[in-house]
Structure 1
Amino acid sequence: MGITVGFDLDMTLIDPRPGMTAVLNALGEESGLALDGEHFAANLGPPLDQVLLASGAPAQRVPELVARFRELYPEIVIPSTVALPGAHAALAAVHAAGGRTVVVTGKYGPNAALHVKALGFEVDVLVGELWADGKAVALREHGAAVYAGDHLGDVRGALAAGAVPVGVTTGPCTREELAAAGAEVIFDSLEEFPGWLSSSGARGSGR
């Protein structure tokens, strides 16, 4: 049986930042709240409800704001999102090795699925709305031996699942931050992933 590899979505497989900036700014304009789309897009990772609360949104309004964000998302974010360098090749490399790909993301599942479809990603399993240590639930369930992500929360999720934490510096976290959090392998992008996966050391690194 081949290896099962998990991947994060935002800033690991995809770059949704222009759309994320636009959708949060649109939500701010509609709601009359001072929401900073550029800051949001530059720090993708934490769940939306946490982001809204940190931005000063009243707690009682957060559920309606999250629902409206999800409604606006497909029209604004999906068309402007691109695959990050190496994303397709990384997924294909897992399948070429006889393995399975599992995308585990904090993003709302239906919108994550729209990204996967729009960009033609070869994904065997997609699980949404899990963040940081919570990602370990899905990673363990699907037997992921490796989990690749751009955020410190992704490293935490991999470690909690007993998977090899692979960091990529395409997101908001530096190489030094990812290493300090426990990432065992760190790439500048997923373009480096296929070579690592095919190496004897990488294939033997599952826990």
Structure 2
Amino acid sequence: MGRCVGFDLDMTLIDPRPGMVAAMEQLARESGLDLDAELFASRLGPPLDHVLRGFEAPEERIPDLVSRFREIYPGLVIPSTVVLPGARAAIDAVRDAGGTSLVVTGKYERNAALHLEAHGPEVDVLVGDLWATGKAAALKRHNAFAYVGDHVGDIRGALAAGAIAVGVTTGPCTRAELLAAGAHVVLDSLVEFPGWLAASADGARVPER
């Protein structure tokens, strides 16, 4: 029987950065707050409320800011998003091995679904609104044997679930940072994933430290 493999979304399967900049710039204009859109897009991973606190947005305004960002998101971010190299082949490799593909993301689930509907890749299960070790609940529920992500938070989530932590260096975190967080293997991109999956067919970890 095939196994379940989990994937992060932003900067693992897709690159939404240009639209993220535009959306945050619009939120800054509307709110009158100093929100660094370029910095935000360069460090995708943490949930939006965490990001806004980092930009010192007033706590009482954060729920409305999050809601407004989610409203403007589809028109600005979805159209300019691209699928990262190797993403479709990675999902196909899981399917060809008889497995199940699972996306677990910190992104608002409805907007995450819009990305997958508009651009693919076609995955079996999507779970949104989970970050870092919080992702472990979904990974455990679906019995994921591995979780692939670009952020140290993804590595922590995989480890908390007892899954193989597979890092990719397509996001904000370096190979050294991913390994320091506990990644069992780090790939340059998902282009390398089908080969890794085939090599780990017995479920063994394949460290590249």
Give the letter for the 2:11 counterpart: M
Alpha-carbon distance in structure 2 between the residues aligned to 1:156 and 1:140: 13
Distance 2:154 2:120 in 1: 23
**Structure 2 counterpart of 1:79:** 79
Describe the SS at the equivalent of 1:67: helix
State the Cα RMSD in Å: 0.9
Partner of 2:58: 58
Give the aligned length: 205
Indicate if the aligned counterparts of 2:83 and 2:120 stay in contact, CA closer than 8 A.
no
Report the Cα offset of residue 202 of structure 1. Answer: 4.6
TM-superposed deviation, 1:121? 1.4
Corresponding residue for 1:205?
A: 204
Provide the C-alpha distance between the structure 2 equivalents of 1:138 and 1:114, rounded to a whole number of angstroms. 20
In the alignment, which residue of structure 2 is the partner of 1:180?
Answer: 180
Deviation at 1:132, TM superposition (A): 0.1
CA distance in 1, matches of 2:146, 2:204: 8
TM-score (norm 1): 0.97
Asked whether the 8 Å contact 2:22–2:37 carries over to 1, the reply is yes
Which residues in structure 2 correspond to 1:136-151 (within 5 Å)? 136-151=136-151
Q: Which moved more, 1:95-104 or 1:116-125?
A: 116-125
**Offset, 1:198:** 1.1
Runs of 4+ in 1 over 6 A off after TM superposition: none
Contact 1:14 1:81 in 2 (8 A): yes
What letter is aligned with 2:18?
P
Instruction: Indicate the residue corresponding to 2:157 in structure 1.
Output: 157
Q: TM-score, normalised by structure 2?
A: 0.96
Q: Is the 8 A contact 1:147 1:166 kept in 2?
A: yes
Q: 1:160-194 CA deviation, whole Å, 9 max, x = no partner? A: 00000000000000000101111011011000000
Q: Tell me the alpha carbon deviations over residues 4-45 of structure 1, each in whole angstroms, 9 at most, x when there is no partner.
A: 000000000000000001100100000100111100000001
- Give the match for residue 109 of structure 1: 109
CA contact (8 A) 1:197 1:203 kept: no
Distance, in Å, in 1 between the alignment partners of 2:73 and 2:138 is 24
Structure 2 distance, partners of 1:205, 1:128, is 28
Match of 1:2 in 2: 2
Matched residue, 1:11? 11
- The letter of the residue matching 1:50 is H
Q: Tell me, which stretches of 5 or more residues in structure 1 are unaligned?
A: none
What SS does the corresponding residue of 2:75 show, helix, strand or coil?
A: helix
Distance, in Å, in 2 between the alignment partners of 1:151 and 1:202 is 24
Letter in 2 for 1:108: Y
Distance, in Å, in 2 between the alignment partners of 1:203 and 1:117 is: 33
The one-letter code matched in structure 2 to 1:126 is L
TM-superposed CA distance for 1:89, in Å, is 0.4
Q: Deviations over 1:98-128 (max 9, x none)?
A: 0000000000000000001111212110000
Unmatched segments (≥5 aa) in structure 2 = none
Q: Aligned with 2:121: secondary structure?
A: coil
The alpha carbon displacement at 1:203 in A equals 3.7
CA distance in 1, matches of 2:72, 2:114: 13
8 Å Cα contact 2:14-2:82 kept in structure 1:
yes
The farther-off stretch of 74-83 and 113-122 is 113-122
SS of residue paired to 2:167: strand
Contact 2:23/2:72 (<8 A) preserved? yes
* Separation in 2, partners of 1:179, 1:134: 20
